Amino acid sequence: MKFTIYQESRPGKRPTNEDRIAYSYSRDALLMVVADGMGGHLHGEVAAQIAVQYITEAFQREAKPMLKDPFLFLSGALNNAHHAILDYAADRFLPEAPRTTCVACIVQDSIAYWAHAGDSRLYTIRGGRIISRTRDHSRVARMVEDGLISAEDATRHPARNRIFSCLGGASAPQIDFSRKTPLMTGDIVLLCSDGLWGPLPEDVIPRALSTGNVLQASPALLNQAEARGGENADNLSIIAIRWEDSYAEDTLGSVSTKTMPIDSFTTQMEAFAKARKGVQPLPNLSDEDIERAIQEINAAIRKFSK
């Protein structure tokens, strides 16, 4: 495999960042995952952390060095992450389980496979055009599809943040799966939370990435979304890759897995405590609280790890 990858998550104007992102790759398979936590003080980010950490650890257990069935992996990983979040809530006697959106993508043999619950999105972009995009699990998205409101009206609709599928919460998640999507040299795969795509007109994302330079375009998109979000800017996160199927031409900043040992992995995922670094402390949230949360997150994940 050969690809160029960029990832970044920002709090926007919110007191905490409840988004979590990660990527991990073996010699022959790549995982990317974005989760946008919901549920307020601490718990939303816990749900997102459980989802991202569980899916990443499951990938490292099973990609040896590639997955036997990427769709089966995604189904099991997202559903088990959902149950790990419920377990965390039950162990803490929470009146309501924390929730998170999630979008996860596997690429192997130059084919992309993805699954999502909620309104975190995945785009595939070729030649500056969107060739596929996930459908948001939200009431407003359905209203747009039914012709009841316009896409422009949806950005200002009071119910724009109400989603009907997520990991955690009382109901089993509705998880949508892509088709097997072959990738060509120069294709862009972008995963993001609604804090990125929400403030931006639909044509901005493919146009920004039309140059194929994800290392420059990705932070520029974050800057633009954060500026458009103004004083209410939400948490915003992005993972973007430019896919390369030829080793003949070196690309600045690109990753080549050709010489990786068959049983090794490279992973980029911030630890829970580090993800909170620099965030303004919330009342009653001490270092001991954070350490206890880390232990409880790991305990919830271990129950569903085989």
| Stretch 170-182: mean pLDDT | 94
Over residues 51-96, the pLDDT tens digits come to: 999 999 999 999 999 999 999 999 999 999 999 999 999 988 888 8
Pairing of strands 255-256, 2-10: antiparallel
| Stretch 226-252: mean pLDDT | 82
- The pLDDT assigned to 128 comes to 94
* pLDDT top residue among 304 and 26: 26
- The pLDDT assigned to 248 comes to 40
Q: Is the pTM of this model over 0.75?
A: yes
| Stretch 156-164: mean pLDDT | 63
* pLDDT top residue among 44 and 259: 44
- The pLDDT assigned to 162 comes to 72
Tell me the CATH number at 63.
3.60.40.10
d(CA 39, CA 100): 8
The dihedrals phi and psi of 114, each to the nearest 5 degrees, come to -145, 165
- The pLDDT assigned to 140 comes to 67
Q: Highest mean pLDDT: which of 92-106, 150-164, 210-224?
A: 210-224
- Mean model confidence pLDDT for the chain: 87
- The pLDDT assigned to 268 comes to 84
SS (H, E, C) 243-299: EECCCCCCCCCCEECCCCCCCCCEEECCCHHHHCCCCCCCCCCCHHHHHHHHHHHHH
Number of domains in the chain: 1
Q: What domain range is 116 assigned to?
A: 2-302
Over residues 183-227, the pLDDT tens digits come to: 999 999 999 999 999 999 989 999 999 999 999 999 999 999 999
8 A C-beta contact, residue 179 and residue 134: no
d(CA 168, CA 212): 36
* pLDDT top residue among 50 and 294: 50
Q: What type of residue is 301?
A: I
